[in-house]
Structure formats: structure tokens, C-alpha cells
Amino acid sequence: MKQFSYTPKGVCSRRIDIDLDDNDVVQAVRFTGGCSGNTKGVAALCVGRNAREIIRLLKGIPCGPRPTSCPDQLALALESYLQSQGA
């Protein structure tokens, strides 16, 4: 199991904790802060999906007038993690 934390920028959530298995499949996502129902919903939908699929689905989603969102920040967190692993 691989675990990492990410500090999002430009959104209400303050931290994203992610657990991945050895095949980069998400096992858990926990947001600190943000809109509770929305972040719990996004987190639940990510469990069991490959990190690359989540990036493809969530990257670029805005939140109102903001150019980013909690789902977008989750995609950026996963992208950053995969890049740091050379994947």
C-alpha cells in the first residue's frame, strides 16, 4: 500500500490523503476541509479506480468562477504522485 498527502491550492479543502495499491488503484481518499458531501462523494467514486482513469475524468473541472476544484486538485495530486514515481 502506498500512501501520500497533497496540499491543494485555490480550493476550500486543506489536504488530500490518498491510499493506492501496488497497481495504482485508489483504495481510499480523504479530504480535510472543503464541502463535506461533495468531497465524500468524489472520494467514494474514486475507490477501485486506477489513478490514470481518475486523472482523465477529473482534471480541469472548475468550481464556480475558480479555475480549479477539489476534484481537479485530486487529479493534480495523483498526477504529481505518478510523476514522482516515474510512472
The tens digit of pLDDT for each residue in 19-75 reads: 999 999 999 999 999 999 999 999 999 999 999 999 999 999 999 999 999 999 999
Give the chain's domain count. 1
Q: What angle do helix axes 70-84 and 36-46 make, rounded to 10 degrees?
A: 40
Give the pLDDT band of residue 86 (cuts 50, 70, 90): confident
pTM summary value: 0.95
Identify the pLDDT of residue 53.
98
87: pLDDT strictly greater than 80: no
Whole-number Å distance between alpha carbons of 74 and 43: 9
Residue 54 lies in domain: 2-84
Q: Residue 86: CB partners within 8 Å, gap ≥ 6?
A: none
What CATH number is given to the structural domain containing 23? 3.90.1010
